[in-house]
Structure 1
Amino acid sequence: MKNIPDKIFGTDARIIILGIARMADAIGNSFLIVVLPLYIASGQVKGEFFGLSGSLITGIALGLFGLVSSVCQPITGRLSDKLGKRKFFVLLGLVLFMFANFFYSLADTYMWLLIIRATQGLAAALTITATLALVSEVSSEKNRGGNMGIYNAFRLIGFGIGPLGSGALVEGGPYNLPVLGTVTGFNAAFFLAAIAALISVILVAFFVKDPENIEPNEEGMVIYFKAKMPGKILDPIFTLGLATLFMSIGFALLAPIELEVNERLSQGAFMFSLEFSALIGCMAIIQPVVGKASDKFGRKIFIVIGLICLIPIILLEGFVTEPWHMITARALHGICAAMVFAPALALAGDLAKKGQAGAQLSVLTVAFGLGISIGAFLSGYMIRFGFSTPFIIGAVLAAIGAVLVFTQVPNHKKEAEIEAEV
């Protein structure tokens, strides 16, 4: 690497640079969560799309990103394994993000909007799997948990910062800028998202290199569902994926029912934003701490305790009557989610075969994305059966996840090898 030390605050510099790059990228992309619905509703996008309403197209556009990303992640992860190149895939994804973010400013039909959104999903698949594989491969079992926690903390900080400024940026437009002239608030948001991706490209291109021991892997698809260990039913990495799925479903229950939450708690949009952000903020702060602790005390214990603690906390969210109740519950929710996610990624990295981290870690990243989508659908549909119903289901899923991890997942790689030999 150029002009920077091998370690920053005792951590491999590549981890810090990748985290900062993903933070910049996440800031730009989280802009779009707020901006895209406003952009579609503004009337600047014209045309017919199979006779669908604007609101339905908005939902499709927002959901298309996660769908394309989830479908493509195992494929892009396997390709990066096969070629033995992580940095190339990270850069390719970030460059696609940069151009897609910019081309929103030129999209004037629904078809172009959906094409750009699908391109972003592909870009995410390229970037996510290769980045996590790289983080895992430059780590060892002694520091993988801490490294995963640091990387995810940066990413979550970016995800949390983006929406805070995007609404104000849109409302403050148009802007008179040198060279560019008059720029609408929407285009300003799209340009800043593109610039954020460009910053990420520069950081990765100049300051990150592939692990020295990574080699092309010619094996076939290496995602397993059934256990190879005696006495187990499910593959441990697949089980960790299920636990991540259940955790992220609970993560996503609040956002789709904002109106019902505000009515129940007699609050406005600002208090809801505090409640929503409490989870992300605590998760970002706690992940490096929990990840580092999992390096010392083991991964499985944190995952199981985190899932068990999610049971009463998610239930509490379904029965709160005051805003401060919800803020407290969401903050605790973030702490418990951090106890699950960072150690689960680290343990999956421990268990992954050499040269197959891209494909095998994609099990967890796909599960997280699918859980967000399923949680949003589940909450939006089940709220009709009572305010607490989605949260009761989320708590039950957390309990199932705890049982699965406790019974199907080894504490570490050596235990898995010993059990397989027996």
Structure 2
Amino acid sequence: MKINNIKDFFSSKIVWLFLTGTFFMMLNMSMAYMIIPVYLVSTGASVAQVGMSTAFYSIVAVILRIFLGPVADNKGRRFSMLASTVAFLIGTIFIWLAPSFGWHLAARAIQAISLALFMSTGSSVISDLAEEKILSTFMGIYRALLGLGFMIGPIFSLAMIEISYDAMFLANILISIIAFILLYQVQETCKYHKTNDSKNLFKDYKGLLGDRRLRKYYYLTIMLAGGYGTVMANATNYLNSLDTDLSASFFIFLLMSSGMVASMSVGWLIDKFSIKNIIIPAITLAVIGMLGMSTISWMGNIAVVAVGILFGIGNNSAVICAVSGVDSFTSKKLKATSFSIQESSIDGGNAIGNFIFGWVALLLGYANAFIVLGIIMAIGCFLLIFDSDKAKVKIDIKKNRK
């Protein structure tokens, strides 16, 4: 029986086990993104090797997600989550003990298996547990928890590094074990298992990508991820080059904190007022925030605070709208598969956004590059939103949920 109110949601044992286990997984996954490069440098790796490690991890995860994303639909959510925790545990141990860079890359591939399995599965679990009328509220809470884990994870890992790198790896191994124990107690939430057939797999992908309504939200996710990933990756270098009293770390903290607050609240607004009424203001705030990055060079601290809040709220709110949109138009049997496409859209958007930004910044400078990317975001997002479909939304949702 699905949960239909907040009281039951927070009193559910399954929900608490799942959310707590997910939080521990996010602590570790943030380490894989942000702290492993630091560890590599300490071992004497070159800048090229550090970049190769991070890129390899992301690319392998995107490729594997094509095949592993649907596992949660075929084998169940519980199987996918547990396999993910085991893969991350093994990958972490292998990175710790890797005798060469080649072995390190092999270990990163194992960690990529974990990433490919877990992210889309988590969203699917929330979709399984919550009634449609309150789904966005719970999805927002879940996404806020992901953000909290990604924010605390690096801080925790860096604290462990102060003791030693061995202490960091031991702590992350322990966290993986705790996550496994918690998620092991989560009962299966999916009752619509499919047959695991490669022909059906590509047929499913073709069907999902061929759905104009879903494709709109996938593209929107690419746009939003491109903006957010670019700001996160370049804010430190940009702000350090300017004469501001507020540090880059403060800006990133403000950006992530405001985003988490937005995620927790905007889901309720979507359930109450619909995606259509929330997504336009959300994208508007995100675009203003992106364009506002260029004003920091002459407005200083005021712009740092304003942009951090506006972009954090706008971008995260729009992402929750996109996630809710994907859920609304995806059949029950393909939830994890559809969410895996969206997760790959996030990774792809991040890469595309940084690629475009890098070249524009090289030619025009940081401030102008943020303006160009903001204009691209505005045009792309609003063209997608105002590209109306003739079909009735309520009828489509009802049809797709069968």
What amino acid is the match of 1:109? S
Q: Which residue of 1 aligns with 2:257?
A: 281
Match of 2:307 among 329, 335, 354: 329
Partner of 1:161: 152
Instruction: Please list every run of 5 or more consecutive structure 2 residues that lacks an aligned counterpart in the other structure.
Output: none
Where does residue 401 of structure 1 map in the other structure? 381
CA contact (8 A) 1:249 1:375 kept: yes
Q: What is aligned with 1:195?
A: 174
Measured at CA, do residues 217 and 284 of structure 1 come closer, stay the same or move farther in structure 2, by a change above 3 Å?
farther
Residue number among 124, 127, 130 corresponding to 2:118 in the alignment: 127
For residue 165 of structure 1, give the secondary structure of its aligned residue in structure 2.
helix
Question: How much has 1:74 moved relative to structure 2?
Answer: 3.0
**Could you tell me how far apart the structure 2 residues matched to 1:127 and 1:410 are?**
35
1:140 Cα deviation from its structure 2 partner = 2.4
The number of aligned residues is 388
Give distance in 2, aligned partners of 1:263 and 1:225.
47
Distance in 2, matches of 1:389 and 1:310, equals 17
Corresponding residue for residue 381 of structure 1: 359
Does the CA contact (< 8 Å) of 2:29 and 2:115 recur in 1? no
Contact 2:286 2:312 in 1 (8 A): no
Q: Is residue 414 of structure 1 aligned with residue 389 of structure 2?
A: no
TM-score scaled by structure 1? 0.84
- Following the alignment from structure 1 to structure 2, what is the Cα–Cα distance between the partners of residues 104 and 32? 10
Contact 2:77 2:190 in 1 (8 A): no
Structure 2 residue 214 is the aligned partner of structure 1 residue 237: yes
Q: Is the 8 A contact 2:144 2:263 kept in 1?
A: yes
The share of aligned pairs that are identical, in percent, is 20
Q: 1:240 to 1:8 in 2, by over 3 A?
A: closer
The letter for the 2-side match of 1:216 is K
Of 275-284 and 215-224, the range deviating more from structure 2: 215-224
Matched residue type, 1:263: S
Counterpart of 1:24? 24
User: C-alpha displacement at 1:169, in angstroms?
Assistant: 2.7
2:70 aligned residue (78, 81, 93): 78
RMSD: 2.8
Kindly indicate whether residue 57 of structure 2 is the aligned counterpart of residue 65 of structure 1.
yes
Rounded Cα–Cα distance in structure 1 between residues aligned with 2:233 and 2:332: 40
Contact 2:93 2:169 in 1 (8 A): yes
Structure 1: runs of 5 or more not aligned: 46-53, 174-184, 229-233
Superimposed CA distance per residue, residues 82-103 of structure 1 (whole angstroms, 9 cap, x where no aligned partner): 34x1110111011111121222
Task: Output the CA distance in 2 between the equivalents of 1:261 and 1:212.
Answer: 46
Task: Give the 5 Å matches for 1:340-359.
Answer: 340-359=318-337
> What's the offset of the Cα at 1:419?
11
Match of 2:281 among 296, 305, 326: 305
* Partner Cα separation in structure 2 for residue 97 and residue 134 of structure 1: 20
- Residue 290 of structure 1 and its aligned partner are, at CA, apart by 0.6
- CA distance in 1 between counterparts of 2:100 and 2:4 reads 47
Q: CA deviation at 1:289?
A: 1.1
Aligned to 1:392: 371
Amino acid at match of 2:62: S
Match of 1:316 among 287, 292, 298: 292
Q: Cα deviation per residue 1:337-395 (whole Å; 9 max; x = unaligned)? A: 22111222122112101211111122211111222233333333322222223312331
Aligned-pair distance for 1:266?
4.2
Distance 1:408 1:120, change over 3 A: farther
- For residues 315 and 115 of structure 1, do their structure 2 counterparts lie closer, same or farther at Cα, with a shift above 3 Å needed? same
In structure 2, what is the equivalent of residue 10 of structure 1? 8
Measured in 2, the distance between the counterparts of 1:191 and 1:136 equals: 34
**Change over 3 Å in CA distance of 1:389–1:333 after alignment to 2:** same
* Residue in structure 1 matched with residue 107 of structure 2 by the alignment: 116
Question: What code does the residue aligned with 2:103 have?
Answer: W
Equivalent residue for 2:43?
43
Tell me the amino acid that sits aligned with residue 311 of structure 2.
H
Helix, strand or coil: the match of 1:352?
Answer: coil
Q: Please state how far the C-alpha of 1:146 moved relative to its aligned partner.
A: 1.0
Structure number with higher relative contact order (C-alpha < 8 Å, ≥ 6 residues apart): 1
1:246 aligns with 2:223: yes
Residues 1:338 and 1:15: Cα distance change in structure 2 (over 3 Å): farther
Letter in 2 for 1:82: N
2:129 counterpart residue number: 138
Aligned counterparts of 2:37 and 2:124: Cα–Cα separation in 1: 33
Contact 1:80 1:358 in 2 (8 A): yes
Assess if the C-alpha contact under 8 Å between 1:23 and 1:156 holds in 2.
Answer: no
Q: Cα gap change, 1:77/1:132 in structure 2, threshold over 3 Å: closer, same or farther?
A: same
SS across alignment from 1:355: helix
- Give the residue type in structure 2 aligned to 1:38: V
Q: Deviations over 1:31-52 (max 9, x none)?
A: 344432222222366xxxxxxx
Cα deviation for residue 139 of structure 1 reads 2.1
